[in-house]
Structure 1
């Protein structure tokens, strides 16, 4: 199966098998028990082929470390040979070695940010700081909008047949509007086809490196539990488009995409911006109180990258009129309940989420009998679709409830501000959960730059 530039295991095995005769072990010369076992097992032979391809790529990419690499490989071969004819042992040895070599190859070919990249991050920081003077609520959004690339780009999508579902969308059979004959011929020659077995791919032609020829961005929705979209880039080289990770032997790499966006719960996005005459994919991965913006060189394998981090402080409140979206009705909280909920919010951090697990002390007093003690130390487990901001006691009518404020990773809108909820449960009773809307207006407190690895569901 192939999903937006990613080989998952079954597809990788098939691709590896196609090249096995050319790059795998020469089974006509198999002499030892290990070699004969590998040659008799398709899965092991494919792993041997995959490992060999990655090893050769790493050897070529690391001239200064070739002697050390040879020594390490000889040591690994001795460890492998200790498995003799044990197929499970061999499978484990190979998978560990493939993973190790792939990580080394990723590091060896990773793009090292230049001074101009660091200066671009500093330019962005200053622009956000300036924008905050006029709009401290949306300084990052205003800045990204001002830097967005709005010209010299053409976009088209997979085509759905009239009698087919969206899952059966395919690459266009004729040149879409805005695509030149030269670009269309290069797309056809590169066998750029629908990049996902589910959903549609969107294709954007844009000059990503300033050489005067437009490159290719492929954005594919692949669904899954996280409703993921994967973004992959191809460089226009001669008469074809070449995948960004070609140096990684991407047919066997699971990270050929530039980045991924999780559309369920996570607060992630990408903007294509221009800084200092260079195009960056500004990948945004956000949480309560913070926006992290990674400046990705769109045509290079990423290692450490410039990061611009924006911090916020919230003014939290519980609306007295609570809306029930399920029934499309509203209810007005009485003064005592509204006051108790507002008091509980005073215990919530206004700048960062504090998902610290169970507290050292019980949140509500533990009675002589009732639920087990553990029920009083925390609200309980969370879920990947929301972010836990903090747990706290909520006293209503003399009764102690365990409260938890959750949000959707800092998701924020001009209309409602921070989208959050305060949920309550009575620790000594079942089915007593209550939920109340929480609003929060934010203001930027600071913006800083740094260097680091990209956090989130992105590719290498």
Structure 2
């Protein structure tokens, strides 16, 4: 909006309020980009925008009303823009997905535990890459900004294009690093922006910029966007940059108990329908007789009867289909806290995944148990690390927790096409 030409109460109110003015500026950018992206639908877009302006103008000088209408319209325009420019997987992507599935299936015959890891490592992109870090902020040591001087390893033409492009971070604040790598095979290195923003989830956001001659062009017009993010507290997520059928993909991995899902993201496009491979596992679970005390170092030995009871309970986990039982896990007495105390262990902390609620019988006593893990986190040394928590229903006594380990083997490798499903942690 040109505020020197503000002609009514609404326009004067927008120009006098920075937040509203910023929303209006955002709308101008998205609206123009949408006009370019959806030529066949331009007439309808212009019609709906004129209708929205009439509704907006009814707010007059009401800032709250204006803000709500701007945000709702921006959300609708963003959704239309995303649908208009979203990348549609082609035959080559489908062939790459089929290749990945077959490679994992073949590798699983020799290595049913780590077939996926081995395949992704073998497909790692081998094109030359260079990286540099942002400059520390003078105000906050946990924030960096795009460097003001040409970093080592960046060519003169690349630096001219970078400085001409007003590069911003993948998140509003955080520690940012930059990687130059050819992502589309045109011989010019593109830009990967990696920002560690922290927060309760220890989030890391990644966005990409395509080299287009004398400039770098951001993958998305949205001011804050990311190709993907990883949550390092709770959810088990990672990415491998791989090459299949001559194309580079960000193989975004999102895991949970019993399943690894790998999404093949086109690194320079808006991804909505995404090729995905799902690897499913079955575990051999074991409660070791030696358990660690709270200090993490010293150990104690389980009594034989308790050890047998705990192992008997976890061997049934693979046959348990639902987290919430339709029947009470322990017999409900005539008097007590009520039915709810007997059906589920209760909610788990956001940083862990509750796999299943189950009954554990120790002697003549029935306990409510919950098997929890860290979204399927798995290592060569220990395999799956999980915990079995027990509590006595209708009791004020605290819960007891025991270590559980598991070794996995692949049971199925399937493919699909759809939106990304995330564990938020």
TM-score clears 0.5: yes
Of 285, 308, 311 in structure 2, the residue corresponding to residue 316 of structure 1 is 285
Q: Which residue of 2 aligns with 1:216?
A: 191
User: What is the match of residue 5 of structure 2?
Assistant: 28
Match for residue 383 of structure 2? 417
Matches within 5 A, 1:108-257: 108-158=84-134, 166-167=141-142, 169=144, 171-172=146-147, 174-192=149-167, 199-245=174-220, 248=221, 250-251=222-223, 254-255=224-225, 257=226
Distance (Å, rounded) in 2 between the aligned partners of 1:195 and 1:406: 32
SS of 1:362 mapped into structure 2: coil
Looking at structure 2, the residues matched to 174 and 211 of structure 1 have their Cα atoms a distance apart, in angstroms, of: 26
- Written as runs of structure 1 = structure 2, the 5 A alignment for 1:264-303 is 264-303=233-272
CA RMSD of aligned residues (A): 2.6
Residues 177 and 70 (structure 1 numbering): CA distance in 2 closer, same or farther, change over 3 Å?
Answer: closer
SS at match of 1:310: strand
Q: Does 1:70 align with 2:46?
A: yes
Q: Paired residues, what number?
A: 424
> Is 1:374 equivalent to 2:349 in the alignment?
no
Deviates more, 1:232-241 or 1:332-341: 232-241
Is contact 1:166–1:199 with CA below 8 Å preserved after alignment? no
CA distance in 2 between counterparts of 1:141 and 1:346 reads 26
SS state of the match for residue 142, structure 2? Answer: helix
1:446 aligns with 2:421: no
TM-score, with length taken from structure 1: 0.85
Q: Give me the whole-angstrom Cα distance separating, in 1, the residues matched to 2:214 and 2:29.
A: 26
1:192 & 1:50 partners in 2: Cα distance? 17
CA distance in 2, matches of 1:446, 1:146: 21
Structure with higher RCO (Cα < 8 A, 6+ apart): 1
The Cα shift of 1:112 comes to: 1.3
Aligned mates of 1:197, 1:237 — CA distance in 2: 24
Displacement of 1:406 in angstroms is 0.8
Matched, 1:80 2:49: no
Aligned partner of 2:306 in structure 1 is 337
Distance change (3 Å), C-alpha of 1:350 and 1:124: farther
8 A Cα contact 1:44 1:91, kept in partner = yes
CA deviation after TM superposition for structure 1 residue 51, in Å: 2.2
Q: CA deviation at 1:196?
A: 6.1
Give the superposition deviation at 1:199: 4.9
